[in-house]
Amino acid sequence: MVLLGREQEVSARQVNFPVKPLRTALTNYSGKATYQITQRNKVVAFGQAGRNHQPNRLDPFGPTGFGVGPATAINESEESTTEQVAWGWVWKGEWNSVIKDRFFFDMRVGQFGANRPQKPNGTAPRFEDVGNLIVAGGNRDWQENFRRNQVLGSLSYFQDGWSGSHHLKVGGEIFRTTATEVWRRAYPGDVLHVLRNDTPIEVYLFQTPSRSESGLWTYSAYANDSWRLNNRLTLNLGLRFDRYRVFLSEQAHPAGRFNPTPQTFLAVDSLIDWNVLAPRIGVAHDLAGDGKTIAKVSYGQYWLGPGTDLGFNANPNSNQWWRRYTWTDRDGSGIWEPGEEGRLVDSRGGIALESLDPGLKLPILREIAAWIERELFANIGVRTGNRVARRATALHAPEREPAVRRVHRPGFHFRSGPGWAGRHSGRWSRDWRLRPHTRALGSGARQHCPQCARCR
């Protein structure tokens, strides 16, 4: 059994908070225990938790269409800041079992979680000036929660004699991810005053309390075979299936100062879902048969799953509820009073921001890599290679693929659609084993992006 703890504190001044240095205090705890039940069965437990305390966070609301943000908003007192005491944790339980000499089974369950509450340091009316960027008055009483529960399992099988030796592995994974945003209270009085160089221009009237949740189910299954055909050639063949399903649980929006009527939103089991396959293949070949020069080529396809933000955008129970109006300060008091709001400019809550196209495509990364490893002398070797990747970086609606074109990179040829030539990289590394207990490592890399004409 192992138990560890660590504390760390750092302070730094920031130009948009001249009051005092911003302080961050971090505390981390972790522990691990292993128990050998029998010669063939073992269980492992692991846990880690961390606390992040920031007495003064500078997050403004940031009125829509203006440049007021955490790095630009000028906080002239602590009253306009929030205090954050956030906790994050991860734990797992693991069971490993050697069923027979050729079978190995493992199963893991666990959770990643985080709670990030922010409490206001003041109670005065809230102002955010989009002209001089000064923010003043009490901040929000807000919290964000995140949970990812997961179950994973795999079975490995070792076999000789099927045209070589095989290491077969099959497995599956289930993840349930939820994100929750809670506004216990917005700014004092549920009112945010927007100024331009001290002149009133708009007012936000918030409908709190509110609580919005978005979720994602992920189901995965995979199979892999590390197949050694002979002493010179090894294949690594794999196929992975992933299913993603965005969902909304049943939710409610209670009554408040500016929303006298509570609302209920029914659960939606599937806002949108995807079923995708991803093949992977790798080849390693001993060119001379002496174990000194190895050529490796691999191809992989990787789907990038959606996040919980997609559900928030399609949720009528929005993660923010407000109405944005023009504001005329008729009595010159500098404080909004009922009846001073004018035209409705924008709103959030009650209807979904976006509707999801059923044909929406997930981002995908396709990668080809080729490497050469060579032992120069005893315990001294070099490795060099090239990697070419095509990546769609965002969710996108289906469209017709442009014509295929030929691309050339040192070492191999292939045909690709647009994007393969977008970015490629090469790496080299050297590993010197000078003595049994002495080792020297060296490596380098070059990455080229023709679109931005930069090499790193």
What digits encode the pLDDT tens for the residues 9-36? 999 999 999 999 999 999 999 999 999 9
Nearest to 282 by CA among 229, 225, 232, 235: 235
Q: What is the mean pLDDT of residues 187-193?
A: 97
Q: pLDDT at residue 233 above 60? A: yes
Q: Integer distance in angstroms from the first to the last C-alpha of the chain?
A: 44
- Cα 181–184–187 angle (5° rounding)? 105
Least confident piece of the model among 18-22, 156-160, 272-276, 306-310: 306-310
23 and 11 Cβ atoms separated by less than 8 Å: yes
Please tell me the predicted confidence (pLDDT) of residue 389.
82
Residue 359 is predicted with a pLDDT of 84
Question: Could you give phi then psi for residue 166, rounded to 5 degrees?
Answer: -130, 145
**Overall average pLDDT of the 389-397 stretch:** 67
Q: Is 190 helix (H, G, I), strand (E, B) or coil?
A: helix
Query: For residue 60, how far is the Cα from the chain centroid?
Result: 23
d(CA 282, CA 235): 6
139 with 186: CB under 8 angstroms?
A: no
> What's residue 290's pLDDT?
85
Q: What is the pLDDT of residue 395?
A: 65
pLDDT one-digit tens code per residue, 397-441? 555 433 323 233 233 222 233 343 344 444 444 444 444 444 445
- Residues 181-204: what's their mean pLDDT? 96
Phi then psi for 159, rounded to 5 degrees?
A: -145, 135
For residue 181, count other CB atoms closer than 10 A to its CB.
Answer: 19
Close Cβ partners of 390 (under 8 Å, ≥ 6 residues apart): 365, 366, 367, 416, 417, 419, 420, 422
Looking at residue 33, what is its pLDDT?
96
| Residue of higher predicted confidence among 351 and 196 | 196
315: tokens are 């949720």
Tokens of 21: 């240095």
Mean residue pLDDT of the chain comes to 87
Cβ atoms of residues 95 and 109 within 8 Å: no
pLDDT at 253: 96
Query: Would you give the DSSP letter of residue 21?
Result: E
- Average pLDDT, stretch 32-53? 96
Q: If you average pLDDT over residues 115-130, what whole number do you get?
A: 97
Residue 392 confidence (pLDDT): 65
Distance between CA 173 and CA 352 in Å, rounded?
31
Query: Which of 263-267, 300-304, 372-376, 402-406 has the weakest average pLDDT?
Result: 402-406
Closest to 133 in 3D by CA, of 81, 202, 195: 195
Q: Which of 237-241, 339-343, 393-397, 443-447 has the lowest mean pLDDT?
A: 443-447
Lowest mean pLDDT segment, chosen from 240-254, 291-305, 351-365: 351-365
Structure tokens at 308: 């919980």
383 confidence band (pLDDT: 50, 70, 90) = confident
The token duo for 198 is 């001290």
Task: Identify the residue with better confidence: 276 or 415.
Answer: 276
Cβ 26 vs Cβ 85: under 8 Å: no
Which residue type occupies 307? Answer: G
pLDDT of residue 432: 45
- 97 or 403, which is more confident: 97
Angle at 96 between CA 101 and CA 113, to 5 degrees: 160
Percent of the chain with pLDDT over 90: 70
Q: Which of 215, 214, 216 is nearest to 242 (CA)?
A: 216
pLDDT digits (tens, 9 = 90+) for 57-91: 999 999 877 889 999 999 999 999 999 999 999 99
What b-and-e string marks burial along 199-223, b requiring 16 or more CB atoms within 10 Å of the CB? Answer: ebbbbbbbbbbbbbbbbbbbebebe
CA–CA gap between residue 239 and residue 244 (Å, rounded): 17
pLDDT higher at 357 or 243: 243
User: In this predicted structure, what is the pLDDT of residue 398?
Assistant: 53
pLDDT for the residue 129: 97
| Residues 253 and 213 sit within 8 Å (Cβ to Cβ) | no
**Tokens for 249?**
């649980």
How far is residue 223's CA from residue 169's CA, in Å, rounded to a whole number?
6
How confident is the model at residue 426, as a pLDDT?
47
Q: Residue 179 above 90 pLDDT?
A: yes
Q: Where do the H-state alpha helices sit in 191-314?
A: 309-313
Task: Give every CB contact of residue 161 below 8 A, 6+ residues apart in sequence.
Answer: none
Question: DSSP assignment of 418-452, as one string?
Answer: TTGGGEEEEEEEEEEEEETTEEEEEEEEEEEETTT
CB-based contact 251:316 (threshold 8 Å): no
- pLDDT score for 207: 96
Contact 145, 115 (CB under 8 A): yes
What contacts 408, CB < 8 A, 6 or more positions away?
A: none
User: Could you tell me what percent of the chain has a pLDDT over 70?
Assistant: 86
Quick one: three-class SS letters along 85-128? EEEEEEEEEEEEEEEECCEEEEEEEEEEEEEEEEEECCCCCEEE
